[in-house]
Amino acid sequence: MQTIRGFRDILPEHISLWQRVEQEAFSLFESFGFKEIRIPVLEKTDLFARSIGETTDIVEKEMYTFPDRKGGHLTLRPEATASICRSYIQHKMYATDPLRKFYMTGPMFRRERPQKGRYRQFYQIDAEVFGIESAYIDAELIFLLNELFKRLGLTGLTAHINSLGCPECRPSFQRALLDFLGERKELLCENCTRRIQKNPLRILDCKVESCQQALQGAPATIDHLCPACADHFDIVTTTLKKQGVEFMVDKSLVRGLDYYTRTAWEIKTTTLGAQSAVAGGGRYDGLVQELGGPATPAIGFAIGFDRLVEVMAQLEIETPKPPLDLFIIALGAAALEQAYHWSCELNQRGLRTEVDFRGKSLKSLMKRANKLNAAHVLIAGENELKENQLILRNMETKDQSSLSMDNLVPELINILKS
């Protein structure tokens, strides 16, 4: 049996970077006032179709959707924002405190063509803020991402920032875009020819070569901002500059989801080839209301966890693992029984201890102690048991001392924790 194409196991030997990222991210989020939220993997299809947008690649081509046994359609979540909005509305969180900051991590599902850095089940670390319209929160989220990547030791990342405007400035931009594309219609792919009526903005995100060609010199949202959006963007960029956060204004950045308004950004790396975005985010001031809640400004981002770990691995960022405190070599049935109880008690009291219960020889157990990088080895053979003199070996200095079984556990804790 094999995993499905685009799905993969993350094996224990690769997990330490994942854990390191989670620890750094969650502690940073907590210090900025975010609270963890856990949401289902499966939602009604309609939630994603309505929020991400019917004419986006995700909804048109990439969702894992299937009929429920009792009718209706369900979808494996392709992203987290829509579900978090659903939860915010469903639990009327706005009524008790409209200002909420959430973070979460978990798998997302998109049926894209698999390649390095692109999977059909991938993981995201997500942060969302509801109830704040101020541009300082936009700057804060980009600053937070920058700080996280710095703490993780990442280099070679660039923040690309743009403003997509709001419903106020969209019509003027759409007119300009349609005028521009009018003379280039024959270059557009079939998909974009269809989208031009329904959702011309999506064309800006098309990866097809001829569409890219058609878009050369196309108008940019940032040149059509209303005064309020222009001021908002100005505060974001001025604040980041003051803080020394490096970024570039990227007029061509549009993001692949329909719900974004105003500030949008992506953090790109040069280490992963074509799949260069390690995080993306933006404002979505209209979404909560669109999904049936009260008008609520909101903003968030998602980090591509798989890609982040791949970048860290390429940069040879290490996560030193604490060694095993004690490996117990127990030879013979009586020693094994004792070792079982000692190790349970030692682990209970916070000393990382292991016993190999397979009944192997002293030589092979010493090899295993080395493989496990044990700091100490306790040897309990038949003779040692009979004479009540166990051997404790410091694996680094090779020093050996003998220990009585009478007060063994407290004695070991004393020695090994000092």
At 166 the three-state DSSP class reads coil
Question: Which residue type does 364 have?
Answer: S
User: Reduced to 3 DSSP states, what percent helix, strand and coil does the chain have, rounded to the nearest 5?
Assistant: 45, 20, 35
Note whether 162 binds ligand AMP by CB under 6 A. no
Residue 48 touching ligand AMP (CB under 6 A): no
Residue 172 makes CB contacts below 8 A (sequence gap 6+) with 224
Interface segment toward ligand AMP; rule CB under 6 A; list 158-166, 288-296, 301-309, 364-372: 301-309
Whichever of 232 and 255 has its CB closer to ligand AMP, that residue is: 255
Q: Which of 22, 24, 43, 112 binds ligand AMP (CB under 6 A)?
A: 112
Nearer to ligand AMP, 122 or 143 (CB): 122
Contacting residues for 84 by C-beta, under 8 A, at least 6 apart: 37, 39, 102, 104, 126, 128, 300
* CA angle centred on 135, ends 220 and 286, rounded to 5°: 70
Beta-carbon count within 10 A of 47 CB = 16
Q: Which is nearer to ligand AMP, 58 or 377 (CB)?
A: 58
Taking the complex as a whole, the smallest distance from the CB of residue 110 to ligand AMP amounts, in Å, to: 5
In the complex, what is the shortest distance from the CB of residue 269 to ligand AMP, in angstroms, rounded to a whole number? 9
276-306 CB burial, b ≥16 within 10 A, e <16? bbbbbbbbbbbbbeebebeebbbbbbbbbbb
C-alpha distances out from residue 42 to 6, 103, 303, Å: 19, 18, 20
Task: Tell me whether strands 390-394 and 376-380 are parallel, antiparallel or unpaired.
Answer: antiparallel
- CB 279, min distance to ligand AMP, A: 5
Tell which one of 101, 307, 376, 393 touches ligand AMP (CB under 6 A): 307
Q: Which amino acid is at 46?
A: D
Told to check if 299 binds ligand AMP by CB under 6 A, we report: no
Under the binding rule (CB under 6 A), the answer on residue 306 touching ligand AMP is: yes
| CA-based end-to-end distance of the chain | 48
Question: Least distance to ligand AMP from the beta carbon of 81, Å?
Answer: 8
What is the rounded distance in angstroms from the CA atom of residue 77 to the CA atom of residue 292?
A: 19
**SS3 label, residue 258:** coil
Task: Specify the stretch interacting with ligand AMP by CB under 6 A; choose among 44-52, 83-91, 302-310, 386-394.
Answer: 302-310
| Of residues 81 and 338, the one with the C-beta less far from ligand AMP | 81
Question: Minimum CB separation from ligand AMP for residue 70, in Å?
Answer: 30
Q: Which stretch binds ligand AMP (CB under 6 A): 112-120, 150-158, 213-221, 353-361?
A: 112-120
- Our CB check for ligand AMP shows the closer of 256 and 323 to be 256
Does 219 contact ligand AMP by CB under 6 A? no
Q: Is position 280 an interface residue for ligand AMP (rule: CB under 6 A)?
A: yes
What is the footprint of ligand AMP within residues 79-98 (CB under 6 A)? Answer: 79
Q: How far is the CB of 239 from ligand AMP (least distance, A)?
A: 23
Contacts (CB under 6 A) with ligand AMP, residues 233-262: 256
Closest approach, Cβ 215 to ligand AMP, in A, equals: 19
Site string for ligand AMP, 115-154 (x = CB under 6 A): ---xx--x-x------------------------------
Task: Give yes or no for a contact between 412 and 350, defined as CB atoms under 8 angstroms apart.
Answer: no
Measured CA distances, 286 to 80, 85, 260, 293, 379 (Å): 16, 11, 8, 10, 67
Write out the residues near ligand AMP by the rule CB under 6 A: 79, 110, 112, 118-119, 122, 124, 256, 277-280, 302, 304, 306-307
